[in-house]
Structure formats: C-alpha cells, structure tokens
A and B are shown apart, each in its own frame.
Chain A
Amino acid sequence: MLELVARKEASRFMLWLTPALAVVLTMLSGLALFALLGKDPFEAVRVIFVEPLLDPFSRTELLVKGAPLVLIAIGLSFGFRAGIWNIGAEGQFTIGALTAGAVALAFWNVEGIWLLPLMALAGAAGGAAWAMIPAWLRIRFNANEILVSLMLVYVAELLLSAMVGGPLRDPDGFNFPESRMFHDSATLPIIIEGSRAHVGALAALGAVVIAYVLLHRHLFGFEVRLFGQAPRAARFAGFREARLVAACLGLSGALAGLAGMFEASGPVGQLVPALPSGYGFTAIIVAFLGRLHPVGILLAGAVMALTYIGGETAQMAMNLPAAAINVFQGMLLFFLLGIDVLVNYRIRLRRAL
C-alpha cells in the first residue's frame, strides 16, 4: 500500500522535475487521445506545442492571450498566499472593461494622449471597487469572499449585457447589442508592428517584476506570507486582518480591471457582451500552476496561452474538434495540479501489518 508522507520542506528537486513530468504525462495521454480520434497523434502534439512557436504571428498572439492571464493571476496570487480567495476576477475584469469603455465612449471622437491613462485608471478603479464589495462584506459581516466574489461575476456579466444593449449601444449599429468601436486615441498602442501585441504585455511583465519585489523585498509580502502560513501568529504580531483583506482583494481587482481595460481597448476595440471570455477563471488555474510565484505564473500563463493558440491551429490544420482541445487542456491541468503532490510529500511504501 502506498502512502504519502509530508516533507519537512518542499523538495527543490521535485519543484523543477514535476512540471516536466506533468508535460511528459500529458503528451503520452494526448497521444492516446488523438490516436483514439483517428488523428496522427505525433503531428497533433507537434501542431499544438511547436507550430505556434515557429510562426511569428502566433508568437505575438501568445502575448495577446497570455498577458491578461498573467496580469490577473499575479493579482490573485497575493490573496491566495494569504488565504484570501478571490475567485471573481472574471467579474472584476468585466467591470474594468465596462468602466474603461464608458470613459472611452464618453470622450468618443476626442483626441488626447490623456485618454488611455484615464481609461486605465477607470478600469483599475472599477475592478478594485467591484472587488471591494466582497472585501467589505467579509470584513464587516464575515461573509465568505469565495461565494460573494463568484456571485458578483454573474451580476457583472448581466450588467455589461444590459449596458451594451442600452445606454452604451452603438447608435448606428442597427440595435445590435454592442458599443461603437473605440476612437483611435482610446485604442492601445501596438508594440510589435503588424501584430495585435499591445502594451498590456509590457504591463504584465512589469507586474511580474513588481510582484517579485513586493513578495520578497517588502513588508507587505512578508505580511501576506505570514498570514497564509500562520494567521494566529500574524494577528499576534499586530497585523490587521481587515487591512490585508482589503489590500489583497483591492489589488487583485485592480489588476483584473486593468486586464479588462486592455482587452476592451486592445484586441476587441469596443464593448461586446462576449467580452468576458473566461480569463478570470483561467487565471486562477494559472496562479496555481505557477505555484503562486511571479516567475512561475509567467511560465504557466505562457503554457496556457500556447495550448489555446496551438489548439486553434490544430483545429484548422488537422480538423481536430474543439472539444478534443478542451479535454487535452483538462488533462494537462490535472497532471500539473496532481503531480505537484511530490513537491511537498514523498511516497512511502507501507507494509501490510
């Protein structure tokens, strides 16, 4: 009989080995899956994982798809370390896009380099404000923030849908529920000529660096980690829980809101009901895949983005059904999440008594 024994400290060796092991296992089961579907399995794996890296446009699309994931996951990682569970980033993303979009539409046809910073501010503020609802309800009424933040996702999505079908609807758009296209000065600058990669990618990188510094070189990071590991000790040391809850939720909300603003004023360029496409939820997975570490999150975000883009390529090139890609992604996640057990535990053979 096998049993798990907790390690005294996380294994450095396993820390590096497990992701590689998970990828190998995913590849193996992926081969089986694709073969089962009657596709050339090696070709499929190559198209998903290698093809997007060879193609210059796909490489820039990795930035487009990965940037919001990393940005949101970085924000979430602080709270998750402290045991504060914001799983409503999708809602904060939506509200950020909505507030930023409202600014863009209010100043439609107005030129000015101040407009984008103002939108970014509005997006971050909107996302943070939306996240302060669960924060305040937890601080004041002890309400579980997991559930409140999740409920607010639906409210946010319905609000967006009501707004683009109502006050923010394109007046020349034949009643279709979507806003006008944003004006040029409300559209994000492109960082790589001829692609869709926008300054949001730089912001995500910046967030990784700042998060690293905060976590490892700043009192806030210490406070966060202490709270996650030993809440009683943290309280004893005089750290105030309320402040930490507000800070963590506010920070993650602001970054999610910012990601929403980037999405609306970057790749989409308008407000549409389909704008929230799951980044907020996927980012939770990214945060855990990256083990809540900024650099890990960066890598995990890149891997997730790769499977999305490679998946689309495989649909096109090999006629793989979209569902097969979902299954494949799911397997990758399960292996990555499951095999992590080896980092903190070791397997011992227990002899039957």
Chain B
Amino acid sequence: MDLSALNPADLAFSLIVAATPLLFAALGELVVEKSGVLNLGVEGMMILGAIGGFATAHGSGSLALAALAGAGAGALLAALFALMTQYLMSNQVATGLALTLFGLGVASLVGQGYAGQTLQVSARLDIPGLTDIPVIGRLLFGHDPLVYLSLVATALVWWFLNRSRAGLILRAVGENHEAAHAIGYPVRLVRVSAILFGGAMAGLGGAYLAVVQTPLWVEGMTAGRGWIALAIVVFAAWRPWRALLGAYVFGGVTIVQLNLQALGVAIESQYLSMAPYLVTILVLVVISADRARARLDAPACLGKPFYASS
C-alpha cells in the first residue's frame, strides 16, 4: 500500500469542509442538551436551514445573507419545538421526531423551485501571500469565512459554558431544574433561548452544506447528518472542544475512506462507517462509569420536562 500519494494538507482541507456542517449542528445541540433539553429534530432544522440558505444565496449571491437566512430558518423551526415542549409540555423525544418529519416536508415544498438551480457565490478567502504559503497556506488561510466562524463559535460556546455567568445558569438549569427554579433562575426562558440557538446552529450547518459544500439544493440532501450531530454531542461528552474533535473524526472517517479508495486501497466501507458510532458508545460508557465524573459532563435533567408548580 503506497500512502505517500496522500497529501495530508489536502486531506485535512477536505476533512474540514466535510466536518463543518456537523460541527455547527453539534455545537448547537450541545448547548440545548446542556440546558437539559433533548431535541431530536436536528435533521429537520438542518434541512430547513439548507433550503433557507440556498434560496437566499441564489437570490442575493451573498454568503453572509445565506448564512443568516439558514440560521433564521433553523431557529424558526426550533421555536415550534420550544413552544411545544416548554409551553405545551409535550414529550421531547416524540416532538423532536415529529419536527424532523415536518422540517423535511416543509423544506421540500419550499425548495420545489430551487431544484436544479446553481449558485454564484465566491466563498473561499484568498489572501495573496498567505494562501500561497506551501503546505499550510491553503489549509490555514484558504477556507471560506464560515469555517472560521465554526471555529470561533466553538471557542465562544466553550467560553459561554465555562466562563460566563449566563453559561453557569444554563448548566445549573440542565443539572437540576427544580433547584435552579428555587434559586430564582428563569428555567423556561433559559431553555427556550438554548433551543433557539440550537436551531440557528443546525440551520447554519444545513446552509453550509447547500451553499458551500455541494453547492446545490436537492430534497433530502442532509442525508442523516443531523443524526450524526446528535452522536457527536455524546462523543464529545458535552464539551465544545471535543465536539470539534468529534465532528472532524466523524467527517474524517468518510473523507479518509474515500481518499484511500481513490488511492486504490480496498475497504469494507460499512464496517469502517460503524466505527465512529461504536467509539461514541465506548466514550459514553467510559464517562458514565465513574458517576462522580459523569456529573461534570452529562446534564442530569436531559430530556426531563419541567413544570414550575408555583
């Protein structure tokens, strides 16, 4: 097997592109889960973001507007989830699944006129001098702005959860909503904000997929990426930097596999594709086994409904 033909810089470059939609969606879901809410509708929010972003990019030619529209579309669908679970007390698991069904349907209807359209968006940065540095130039400076945004977002989410007072409150709400409520924290408001943020990030991920990665719009184009984002959150043990790692691992498995094949290495792709999920379970087991440590990571109130009795 001759692997010398594999250029690590190129490999890393495509890996980042493939991982970015996953990272956006996972970061959003991470914050949602930290607040104690499980939203299984990521796939639905993502695809609505994809069509929202694509339609806007098609109309305006602007990547920034497309990203905003994608985030807005995702947040809009998330608002429905927030209304259902936080105000009407519906079950989170069932509502999340319904959200996916609904989002896929709405996106297809809205997108009917956009199938087969193309985009004229120049996404890549090109900084003369820097981008031309051999090996690392393109890797460090040659991406589209959204890739950098995803990295900044990772840092911001980390800072928010670990260093800000609001983040502390959010974690407290996810840890024990009864106690948080007793102290006087607005449990519902915190959760609704988290859900909206999660929707916006999922939508942003979808927009990236449709506007930068492929770039085109087709029905069902998220093809399960929203579900992978859910796995990444667990893989990451609810830690933002590990979510970054997780997104790159999950995205990377596909990329490395495709590249090895392109080199002529025969691969049983199904078994390789299983690997990240098995590793995720393993991670979950390891972090859960030590109950004291698990409390630091996993939000204790995940998926449990909260009703303020007073």
Touch test A–B (CB under 8 Å): yes
Q: Interface residues, chain A, CB within 8 Å of chain B? A: 4, 6, 37, 85, 87, 137, 141-144, 146-148, 150-152, 154-155, 158-159, 161-162, 165, 281-282, 284-285, 287-289, 321-331, 333-334, 337-341, 344-345
What are 16 A-B pairs with beta-carbon distances under 8 A? A6-B307, A85-B303, A87-B93, A143-B285, A144-B288, A146-B303, A151-B281, A282-B97, A285-B94, A288-B93, A321-B109, A329-B101, A329-B105, A330-B98, A337-B95, A338-B90
How many A-B residue pairs have C-beta atoms within 8 angstroms? Tell me.
150
Inter-chain contacts of A334 with B (CB < 8 A): 80, 84, 95, 98, 102
Q: Mark B49-92, 1 if CB is under 8 A from A, else 0.
A: 00000000000000000000000000000001001100111110
Q: What distance in Å separates the Cβ of A113 from its nearest Cβ neighbour in chain B? A: 35
B12-58 interface with A by 8 A CB criterion: 38, 40
> B94 contacts A288, CB within 8 Å?
yes
Q: What distance in Å separates the Cβ of A15 from its nearest Cβ neighbour in chain B? A: 15
Nearest to B284 among chain A residues (CB) is A143
- A337 touching B97 in the complex, CB below 8 Å, given contacts A151-B277, A323-B108, A326-B102: no
**A284, A331, A337: the one within 8 Å of B90 (CB):** A337
Give the distance in Å from the alpha carbon of A147 to the alpha carbon of B280 in the complex: 9
> B105 contacts A330, CB within 8 Å?
yes
Number of interface residues, chain B, beta carbon within 8 A: 51
> A327 contacts B284, CB within 8 Å?
no
- A284 touching B105 in the complex, CB below 8 Å, given contacts A85-B303, A150-B230: no
Inter-chain contacts of A144 with B (CB < 8 A): 234, 284, 288, 298, 302
- A326 touching B90 in the complex, CB below 8 Å, given contacts A151-B234, A159-B270: no
Q: What distance in Å separates the Cβ of A185 from its nearest Cβ neighbour in chain B? A: 30
> B112 contacts A142, CB within 8 Å?
no
> A154 contacts B90, CB within 8 Å?
no
> A327 contacts B309, CB within 8 Å?
no
> A337 contacts B101, CB within 8 Å?
no
Inter-chain contacts of A159 with B (CB < 8 A): 270, 274
Inter-chain contacts of B88 with A (CB < 8 A): 337-341
B220-237 interface with A by 8 A CB criterion: 227, 230-231, 234
> A338 contacts B84, CB within 8 Å?
yes
Q: What distance in Å separates the Cβ of A275 from its nearest Cβ neighbour in chain B? A: 15
Q: What distance in Å separates the Cβ of B269 from its nearest Cβ neighbour in chain A? A: 9
Q: What distance in Å separates the Cβ of A297 from its nearest Cβ neighbour in chain B? A: 13
**4 smallest beta-carbon distances between A and B, as pairs:** A330-B102, A326-B105, A323-B108, A327-B105
- A337 touching B94 in the complex, CB below 8 Å, given contacts A137-B285, A141-B285, A330-B102: yes
**A87, A142, A333, A341: the one within 8 Å of B89 (CB):** A341
**A147, A155, A330: the one within 8 Å of B101 (CB):** A330
Q: Interface residues, chain B, CB within 8 Å of chain A? A: 38, 40, 80, 83-84, 87-91, 93-95, 97-99, 101-109, 112, 219, 227, 230-231, 234, 268, 270-271, 273-274, 277-278, 280-281, 284-285, 288-289, 291, 294, 298, 302-303, 307, 309
> B105 contacts A137, CB within 8 Å?
no
> B91 contacts A326, CB within 8 Å?
no
Q: What distance in Å separates the Cβ of A202 from its nearest Cβ neighbour in chain B? A: 27
Q: What distance in Å separates the Cβ of B50 from its nearest Cβ neighbour in chain A? A: 14
Main secondary structure of the interface of A (DSSP, over half): helix
Inter-chain contacts of A323 with B (CB < 8 A): 104-109, 112, 219
Main secondary structure of the interface of B (DSSP, over half): helix
> B91 contacts A337, CB within 8 Å?
yes
Q: What distance in Å separates the Cβ of A242 from its nearest Cβ neighbour in chain B? A: 15
> B227 contacts A154, CB within 8 Å?
yes
Q: What distance in Å separates the Cβ of A339 from its nearest Cβ neighbour in chain B? A: 8
> A154 contacts B277, CB within 8 Å?
yes
Nearest to B95 among chain A residues (CB) is A337
Give the distance in Å from the alpha carbon of A345 to the alpha carbon of B291 in the complex: 35
Inter-chain contacts of A341 with B (CB < 8 A): 88-90
**B40, B94, B97, B101: the one within 8 Å of A326 (CB):** B101
Give the distance in Å from the alpha carbon of A326 to the alpha carbon of B270 in the complex: 30
- A162 touching B309 in the complex, CB below 8 Å, given contacts A144-B302, A321-B112, A324-B109: no
Give the distance in Å from the alpha carbon of A322 to the alpha carbon of B91 in the complex: 27
> B109 contacts A327, CB within 8 Å?
yes
Give the distance in Å from the alpha carbon of A54 to the alpha carbon of B99 in the complex: 31
Give the distance in Å from the alpha carbon of A165 to the alpha carbon of B269 in the complex: 11
Q: What distance in Å separates the Cβ of A98 from its nearest Cβ neighbour in chain B? A: 13
Inter-chain contacts of B98 with A (CB < 8 A): 285, 330, 333-334, 337
Give the distance in Å from the alpha carbon of A211 to the alpha carbon of B90 in the complex: 24
Give the distance in Å from the alpha carbon of A345 to the alpha carbon of B294 in the complex: 34
Give the distance in Å from the alpha carbon of A148 to the alpha carbon of B106 in the complex: 30
> A154 contacts B274, CB within 8 Å?
yes
Inter-chain contacts of B303 with A (CB < 8 A): 85, 146
- A147 touching B234 in the complex, CB below 8 Å, given contacts A159-B270, A330-B102, A344-B89: yes
Inter-chain contacts of A322 with B (CB < 8 A): 108
> A327 contacts B102, CB within 8 Å?
yes
- A345 touching B89 in the complex, CB below 8 Å, given contacts A154-B227, A155-B274: yes
Give the distance in Å from the alpha carbon of A63 to the alpha carbon of B288 in the complex: 42
Give the distance in Å from the alpha carbon of A341 to the alpha carbon of B84 in the complex: 9
Q: What distance in Å separates the Cβ of A266 from its nearest Cβ neighbour in chain B? A: 25
- A327 touching B281 in the complex, CB below 8 Å, given contacts A146-B38, A151-B231, A281-B97: no
> A161 contacts B112, CB within 8 Å?
no
Give the distance in Å from the alpha carbon of A333 to the alpha carbon of B95 in the complex: 8
**B84, B105, B274: the one within 8 Å of A324 (CB):** B105
Nearest to B94 among chain A residues (CB) is A288
